[in-house]
């Protein structure tokens, strides 16, 4: 009985520690992220919000399921950059299946799947082939809260300036 309580409490502590990482968003301030005037670097986007996605979108991630998108890997800043800028959605099932093959980043913010997943306004008007608002999941729920407007502005700038490293 005592061992079972210890395991249960230990499991609960693990979940609390895991969830405390979800949704924690650091400031995007600083010289490398200047929304609306300078060049937004991916490292600021990763540290500002994207790193929270690794709890589901990484090999062996604790929140990974068999139905999760297969291309994205947020385990490190480098793998996140590569998979976002060069990848296309894959492995989606059910309603989300229509988004398989759609690139995460396009020429504009409004046509980028990564923006549609994170920004409700983009998602509402998104349409690339059969991939539209009805087939895109709001991933901000999984992270714990939506990204700040500052993050979304920086993401838009990053995409529209050619996804600088």
Q: Is residue 100 a part of any domain in this protein?
A: yes
Which distant-in-sequence residues (6+ apart) come within 8 Å of 29 by Cβ?
none
Q: What pLDDT was estimated at residue 20? A: 30
Give 17 or 108, the one with higher predicted confidence.
Answer: 108
Which positions ≥6 away from 51 have C-beta within 8 Å? 74, 77, 80
Residue 29 within a domain: yes
Higher pLDDT, 33 or 109: 109
pLDDT of residue 12 exceeding 60, the answer is: no
Least confident stretch, 5-9, 49-53, 96-100, 128-132? 5-9
Judge whether residue 162 has pLDDT over 80: yes
Helix boundaries (H) for 22-148: 42-48, 77-86, 113-118, 120-125, 140-143
Mean pLDDT estimate for the chain? 81
Residue 115 lies in a domain: yes
152: pLDDT strictly greater than 90? yes
pLDDT at 4 (0 to 100): 41
Residues 146 and 120 sit within 8 Å (Cβ to Cβ): yes
Residue 22 has pLDDT above 80, yes or no: no
- Tell me what pLDDT residue 103 has: 98
Per-residue pLDDT, averaged over 123-147, amounts to: 90
Number of domains in the chain: 1
**Residue 45, burial from CB neighbour count under 10 angstroms (0-12, 13-18, 19+):** buried
Instruction: Work out the pLDDT band at 38, boundaries 50, 70, 90.
Output: low
114: containing domain: 2-160
pLDDT tens digits, 105-126: 999 999 999 999 999 999 999 9
In angstroms, rounded to a whole number, what is the distance separating the alpha carbons of residues 101 and 78?
A: 22
Domain membership of residue 165 (yes or no) is: no
Q: Is 45 within a domain? A: yes
CA–CA dist 38, 120 (Å, integer): 25
What pLDDT is stored for residue 159 in this prediction?
Answer: 98
Per-residue pLDDT averaged across 61-85, rounded?
96
The runs of H, that is alpha helices, within 91-148 are 113-118, 120-125, 140-143
């Amino acid at each position: 009985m005592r061992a079972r309580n210890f395991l249960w409490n230990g499991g609960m502590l693990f979940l609390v520690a895991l969830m405390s990482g979800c949704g924690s968003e650091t400031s995007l301030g600083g010289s490398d992220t200047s929304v609306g005037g300078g060049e937004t670097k991916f490292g600021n986007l990763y540290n500002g919000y994207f790193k929270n996605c690794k709890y589901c979108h990484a090999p062996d991630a604790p929140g990974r399921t068999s139905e999760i998108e297969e291309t994205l890997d947020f385990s490190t800043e480098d793998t996140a950059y590569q998979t976002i800028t060069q990848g296309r959605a894959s492995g989606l099932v059910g309603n989300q299946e229509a988004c398989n093959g759609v690139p995460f980043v396009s020429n504009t913010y409004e046509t980028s799947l990564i923006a549609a997943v994170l920004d409700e306004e983009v998602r509402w008007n998104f349409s690339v082939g059969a991939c539209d608002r009805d087939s895109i999941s709001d991933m901000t729920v999984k992270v714990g809260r939506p990204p700040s407007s500052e993050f979304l502005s920086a993401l838009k700038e990053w995409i529209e300036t050619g996804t600088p490293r």
